[in-house]
Amino acid sequence: MEIKTKYNIGDHIWIVQEGSYFDSIENKRKLSGEVEVIDDYIGSIVIVDESIIYLPKTADMVELEEQDIILDKEDNKLIAKIKDIMKDIHEREKK
């Protein structure tokens, strides 16, 4: 059986997300207000029902869907994702 995915194990990717930290006073994780950009590779692909989940080699606890993948050569997509996350952070901080 052959399974086709948009991306492959070993593809060089960027992971872009808002960072978080554990607040020991409130005993929960909180968003940091900072963008994290991680340089990694697709380490494995998990298929459950009709969902495809991409797992990076080194970034623990990160599960990516196809729309979250930014290949290392997609500079415009990388910058757009950083700006999008920063926009969300600024809007949240205005409240």
Q: List, for residues 8-59, the tens digit of each pLDDT value.
A: 999 999 999 999 999 999 999 999 999 999 999 999 999 988 899 999 999 8
Report pLDDT for 74: 97
1 against 76, higher pLDDT: 76
Report pLDDT for 90: 95
Domain boundaries, the chain: 12-94
CA separation for the pair 13, 28 (Å, rounded): 29
88 against 95, higher pLDDT: 88
Strands (E), the chain: 12-23, 28-48, 51-56, 70-71
Report pLDDT for 61: 82
Strands 70-71, 12-23: pairing is antiparallel
